[in-house]
Each structure stands twice: as C-alpha cells, then as structure tokens.
Structure 1
C-alpha cells in the first residue's frame, strides 16, 4: 500500500526515514534485520549518510574560554620561562592518562599520572604540580578537552591567564605535542 502511494507521488515515507531504516538494518542484530542486512550495498554510496539539518551542536562548551589568538605575542617568542602548555597523553583504549605540562621556553616537562580525566581531578593535579615551580607562571594553554573545563580554578590558584586552542589544531600547542611524541618512545600506547 505504501509502495503504491509512493508510485502515485503521495509517499508517506521520507528519504531520511528510509536511509535510517537501511542503516539500522545493517547494524541491527535482530532476526528481523537479517534479510535486509546487505541492502545498503545497493545505495549509490555505500557509506554512512549524514543528515544535513540545522541542528545545534550538542558538545559541551567550556565556560569563560579565551581563544589562543588573544594570548600575548611574547608567548610565541619563547623567551620567558613562565608560559606552560598542557595536554593529555592517553593510554591504550583511553584507559588512563598522563597529564603533560611543558614549559615553552625551557622545555622542562612535568608529568602527572591521572586516575581519571574528570575536570576536578585534572585541575587539582595541575595546581599541585605548578605550585611547586620556582617562579610564578604567566600563561597556561589548554586544548578544548572537557578535562580542562574548570580552568578558572587554575587561573585563580596560580594567578595566571588561561587560553584555549581551536578544536582539532594540535599545532597551536606544538611544544607539548612534541614532548608527548618524545615520551611515547618510553611509554608506547600498545602497552
């Protein structure tokens, strides 16, 4: 009946619904899905189709985030040992992480093993580690990981300015990324 309605130009099924049904059949494990499991191969492009709508991005936004473009230009010169870059070095399957904090000028790197990546845990580790420095810090640069969501606590405790890189731009904090690459030789991800 539905097929006849579609042939007459009065189709109650949208193409979005049809594509969703095809992909659910492909990935479904029910007995009812078995006959239709390979039907996706008959599509023009046998890959996942992304629905293009005006939906809002559901990622959490880090509050009071200051973009890296507003960071003082002196930080790029690497002449003062008071600017820090922070990132995570992830373990295999994201089971555990090491917090890596690198000084941009001296390349002095501090590591802190984390039990989890919750923001409270991460921020306490950053404060505890950087408080022990012999000199006051000026800036700390993070990436947009939610583990750094409570960056205001770091700013208050250490009296520093915090900045965030753009998403998916590891070159914005190349110093710490390079150090992570060096550390990986001693802590390979496959272990």
Structure 2
C-alpha cells in the first residue's frame, strides 16, 4: 500500500511539473525571442549608446618604481607614496601626466590598484660606497639618488700620508665597494 501511495505521489508531482513547464514556456516564449534593440515597429534605436565606465586610479593604488642603474647593473624596486593629484585619473590622463612631469620614467603596467614604473639612471645606485680621501685623511663616501658622492665619515686618526704611494693613489681615485661587508674588509686593510 505504501509503495502504491509513493508511486501516485510521484506521478502527481511529475504531472504538475510538466504542466507548469508548458504553461511557463507558453507565457514567456514570445518575450524570450524578442530582440531588445528592435522596437515594436522594427525600428532600430540609433540614439541608444552603451557607456563603458573608464577605470580610474584608486586611492589605494600601489605605485611600484623599478630603477635600473646602468653603471653597476643593479635594479632597485621601491613603493612610492601616492600623489593625491593622480587619484581618479584614467590611464590616458595618467600617461599624459607622467609624460609632462616625468618624461624619463616609463609606465610598464597600469591598473586601478597597481602601477609599475621603470626608470634608468646612468650612475651608481645608493647601495655602493667609495673609499677615498678628504682633507688628507681616509674617508667613506656614499652615493645619493642623483649619483653624487656624499661624505659619510672621515677617519681623522688615519692620514693617507702613512700609506704606500700606490694605496694613496687608489684612495685619491676612489675605491668603489658594493656592500657594507666589502667596505669593512677594504677599510681593515688601510686602517690596521
């Protein structure tokens, strides 16, 4: 008996589903086939324009600047701070802004959340040091962003006149070192 009731319920549900499917198809069928651009009299609406919102730079954008230093072949990547002037600029506006204000910087990639820039410089990167002389003493110079030597320290107790002539000439020309470890090693040779 239970089996027979289950079969009757199943047949009733299947019939109800089939009837509702046919009824829905008959009601919606004519509306599905209609083209939205065709008006009742088969006239195309020429004034209809689809506007695409242009992507704009968000206030949360990451600006990544990759700088290549030709003299030492180093790449340094920095995250730049957001310039409030560029918020809400489109890509085209931003490219014009960069072309007018920073012509030597190239835009590698652009999205609303991340901009990658590249710049090439002809000098050493700031990760280098130069051991030289200042006021007749051994001195350490750093390199600034413009490639200029910046005096960092003078060893007042170590005049270069106490060194061999070859070493004096090297210091006058400047000895380039590429890391703090190398700086320590070279200084140890002159100071010890």
TM-score range for the pair, normalised by the shorter chain length? under 0.3
TM-score (norm. length: structure 1): 0.21
TM-score (norm. length: structure 2): 0.21
Structure with higher Rg: it is 2
Higher strand share: 2
